[in-house]
Amino acid sequence: MSAKTLYDKLWDSHVVRQDADGTALIYIDRQLVHEVTSPQAFEGLKLAQRKPWRTASMLAVPDHNVPTTNRAAGIADPISRLQVETLDANCAEYGVVEFKMNDIRQGIVHVIGPEQGATLPGMTVVCGDSHTSTHGAFAALAHGIGTSEVEHVMATQCLVAKKSKAMLVKVDGALGKGVTAKDIALAVIGKIGTAGGTGYAIEFAGSAIRGLSMEGRMTLCNMAIEAGARAGMVACDDTTIEYVKGRPFAPQGENWDKAVAYWKTLHSDAGAKFDATVELAAAQIKPQVTWGTSPEMVTDIDGCVPDPASAPDAVKRGDWERALAYMGLKANTPITEITIDKVFIGSCTNGRIEDMRAAAAVAKGKKVAANVKLAMVVPGSGLVKAQAEQEGLDKILVAAGFEWRDPGCSMCLAMNDDRLEPGERCAATSNRNFEGRQGQGGRTHLVSPAMAAAAAIAGHFVDVSKE
Amino acid sequence: MRKFSLLDGLVVPLDRANVDTDAIIPKQFLKSIKRSGFGPNAFDEWRYLDHGEPGMDNSKRIPNQGFVLNQPRYQGAQILLARENFGCGSSREHAPWALEDYGFRVIIAPSYADIFFNNCFKNGLLPIKLDADKVDALFKAVAAKDGYKLKVDLEQQTITAPDGTVYQFEVDAFRKHCLLNGLDDIGLTLQHVDEIKAFEVKHKAAQPWLFA
Ligand code: SF4
């Protein structure tokens, strides 16, 4: 048998049928559901008088619209409230397990799946959300789907798909001080562009990736979609298995041993062929900061805002000029001279316990700068919040002047009340710096949690590797 | 799903790369639990000068006259001409819903984000990939002539320009079939119920913990 990539193994083990032109039906093991992309799918199911194929494969949670303060008062915005209530009603009607807004297990869908052990190695995982790529950190085939596909998976347990090409992103060596998975992700996107991974499933490998915790691997796979790849993945190893062990939805007893034996095969074989390979040296990656309105508009912390005159072509020059105008930045400004108004630490990219620890480590004993109007930390789930509080991280952060909030997507996309005002500049640990993403006219700079916390303290971007 | 076969439609050029789904339909409109009615808010932040919220009367808002979709010559456009990596970002199907509801039936661009591309086909919207130099030529042609229209023929997989130039395009056979006939994906998949059930039995035997 020829050498297989991890992607080949995951794909092959889920093909129900395949047509001559490669169009396949892929069996789906886990469907995660949130309030924004599911109502029309449930409605479609109802209209066609269909039932979900296997409700036990589904896990639902409201995350995008939930408030991050005073949750006991409920959701003030009636339209947001209706969307969350619609999810509650649909889950009740079809018997889908849901962690409701006031359940301690509630959180961002991509944080709670792994946290509960609902995401397991070898699975196919889908969700009506592009950052479903996050779950690939567990050697799972995970990708975002549209609402029509959400309905399709509910009704048939399958997805119509064609196999992607395979890309290997190899990062070897040791990461420098203050350099994190977030910086690897941004550096990769800076290198290949936001469309560089389009049509590919990316496997992240190399010693620097193996050295990452599961949290770090999730951060990395989370951003595979920002490189254009629907799926990102990392091979299963002891770090993966240790993380999964004992979680509520994880297998137990005899099943556990059987599962582990299988999971250990979930890696690319020696000599497996990839359609494209990208290599980065970990030692050369510096803390990253985006300067524009696309994640590929990124540079090293010791770099400058680029000059559109030096853009490679006319289309790019136009994009850069528009980005600088939107961001209110001048060409050649050193990144460290950019001052900020707000700080957002959280999201499915960086809302896990390790991220809370990284922010607290930087903030300890310091104060948020006077020019920073709001520095908020939003844990990715109720359980992350509880864990952080047990470790005293909330006290450190609050003492430094950060706000400590309730879990949800929050200012990552500002569907709830947390948002930027026009012209406000934010250091954010989320994954998208698109125009208006964090509020109309808001200006987002993507960074790691340590970089965001350091910017909050200094009032402008600083190089955490030199602190 | 709405069928698509032939279109002779007015073209509007949107000359920027990496147009993301947040731009196509801003998040505040994602709170709707419906599938329709997103058209008036397609490209909301570019189209209007004031901030839009769901439920507003859009006819009373301040249009951004500088935005291409608002120019009189492009009113009624059904074909959107765009640049690289169109539809990047989130998986929100609200993006194709908004474009379709606005009146678009065809998008022409050098490349698309995967999820968006996929979502279009589920909503009777045909995203066509053409080489960047051909797209560039179309941008120039549209700018040069008021009322510039293109004829799109899905059966033949051709785009015909007013000067008679014919551009051939690729489209996945299965997607073409569904679009031409307005077929519901779910119905098609359910024709394979026995195969799905047989797979499930085998899968359960191999990985019983997935079904615990
Ligand atoms: S945290 Fe942001 S990116 Fe992640 S699921 Fe929520 S809105 Fe999407």
Q: Does B15 touch chain A if contact means CB atoms closer than 8 Å?
A: yes
Q: Does A449 touch chain B if contact means CB atoms closer than 8 Å?
A: no
Chain B hits for A62, Cβ within 8 Å: none
What SS3 class is residue B153?
strand
Mention every residue, 6+ apart, whose C-beta is less than 8 A from residue A37: A128, A129, A146, A147, A150, B91, B92, B93
Q: Which of B1, B29, B32, B33 to mutate to test the interface with A (most CBs of A within 10 A)?
A: B33
Chain A CA closest to residue B95: A146
Chain B CA closest to residue A30: B210
Residues B20-48: what's their mean pLDDT?
Answer: 95
Sheet holding A124-127, edge to edge: A97-98, A58-60, A30-33, A124-127, A141-144
**A165 touches A144 (CB < 8 A):** no
Q: What count of residues does chain A have?
A: 467
* Residue range B92-113, pLDDT digits in tens: 999 999 999 999 999 999 999 9
Crossing angle (nearest 10°) for helices A181-192 and A214-222: 30
- Whether A21 and B16 lie within 8 Å, measured CB to CB: no
Q: What percent of chain A clears pLDDT 70, i.e. is strictly above it? A: 100
Residues A7-27: what's their mean pLDDT?
Answer: 96
* Residue range B154-201, pLDDT digits in tens: 999 999 999 999 999 999 999 999 999 988 889 899 999 999 999 999
For ligand 1, what atom is nearest to the CA of residue A347? 1
Distance between Cα A109 and ligand 1 center (Å): 8
What SS3 class is residue A464?
helix
Give the Cα separation of A344 and A215 in Å (integer): 18
Residues A220-226: what's their mean pLDDT?
Answer: 97
Strand A425-428 versus strand A342-345 pairing type:
parallel
Calculate the CA B122 to chain-centre distance: 10
Mention every residue, 6+ apart, whose C-beta is less than 8 A from residue A54: A157
pTM: 0.94
**A226 touches A186 (CB < 8 A):** no
Chain A CA closest to residue B33: A39
Residue-wise DSSP of A277-331? EEEEEGGG---EEE-SSSTTSEEETTSBPPPGGG-SSHHHHHHHHHHHHHHT--T
* Residue range A376-419, pLDDT digits in tens: 999 999 999 999 999 999 999 999 999 999 999 999 998 888 89
Whether the pLDDT of residue A274 is over 90: the answer is: yes
Chain B hits for A21, Cβ within 8 Å: 172-174
- Whether B114 and A199 lie within 8 Å, measured CB to CB: yes
Distances (CA, A) of A389 to A70, A353, A459: 17, 10, 26
What SS3 class is residue B116?
helix
Phi, psi of A272 (to 5 degrees): -65, 145
Whether the pLDDT of residue A1 is over 80: the answer is: no
Average pLDDT in chain A: 97
- Whether A434 and B15 lie within 8 Å, measured CB to CB: no
Q: CA angle at residue A66 from A63 to A71, to 5 degrees?
A: 130
- Its ipTM equals 0.94
Task: Please give, one letter per residue, the 3-state secondary structure of B28-89.
Answer: HHHHCCCCCCCHHHCCHHHHECCCCCCCCCHHHCCECCCCHHHCHHHCCCCEEECCCCECEC
Instruction: Give the pocket of ligand 1 (CB within 6 Å).
Output: A 63-64, 108, 110, 129, 131, 347-348, 409, 412-413, 430-431
